[in-house]
Amino acid sequence: MKTYFACSLMILLLTACAVPGSKSGDEVAVQPPAEGNVTANVETESCPGDNALPADVAAQFDAVDDPALLASVLGAPMAGMLCQGKVYQLKAGAELTIYRAWNSSNPNSRLGKWWAFSSPTGKTAQYRSDYEICYQWSPLDKLVHCKLSGGVKVVVGTGQSAKCSDYLSYPASAAKQIYIDNAAEAVMNCQEYDGVFQWQAVKN
């Protein structure tokens, strides 16, 4: 009987250990409560930036109401995912190029859930910080850009803070991210790129 209760307690403890929502190929959704279409899982003023679309693409989208989809991508502080977000739908007939840096050691991450409006530039470390991508989640050694199909719903928002280890964490960021629930069915005409070494001299 003691053995039975000990095993049951161990199962409960393991179940209670929630996995933070990563931005790797195997994203785990964190589901806090949400009301309406524009919300944040923490106080709004603690989320940098806003949910507005970039001006050059705003006319291609309609705002839509989908509280369940929005709630599925909002994360608690230091758990990754989004700090705040809004649901949009790409208008029928419209096409938009979106970008994803991914992990070549996990082919399933090629068409993952997290995308950006522009191609990565500058320092890799800064890109990780802007999009809260821990080193455990991806080496960011591949890039794919695709056309988003008309009629697809996405969540656009700013990133929640993420704890990668006892030595590294990223704060919430104002950089806008795109969440697509099933990218394999939502994108087309994809082009892949390999990451290559490129070094800049450090100015002392």
**Over the stretch 108-120, which tens digit does the pLDDT of each residue have?**
999 999 999 999 9
For position 158, what pLDDT does the model report? 97
Q: How confident is the model at residue 198 (pLDDT cuts 50, 70, 90)?
A: confident
Percent of the chain with pLDDT over 90: 73
Whether the pLDDT of residue 37 is over 60: the answer is: no
Please give the DSSP secondary-structure letter assigned to residue 87: E
How many Å apart are CA 163 and CA 171, to the nearest integer? 9
DSSP 52-81: PPPTTTGGGEEE---HHHHHTTB--TTBBS
pLDDT digit string, tens, across residues 86-99: 999 999 999 899 99
Lowest mean pLDDT of 44-48, 148-152, 165-169, 197-201, name the range.
44-48
The reported pLDDT for the residue numbered 23 is 62
Q: Are 63 and 28 in contact (CB under 8 A)?
A: no
In the predicted model, is pLDDT for residue 2 greater than 80? no
Compute the distance between CA of residue 165 and CA of residue 23 in angstroms, rounded to an integer: 15
Alpha-carbon gap, residue 184 to 182, rounded angstroms:
6
List of residues 6+ apart from 155 with CB closer than 8 A = 69, 70, 73, 82, 85, 86, 87, 88, 178, 179
The pLDDT of residue 132? 95
- Three-state SS at 45: helix
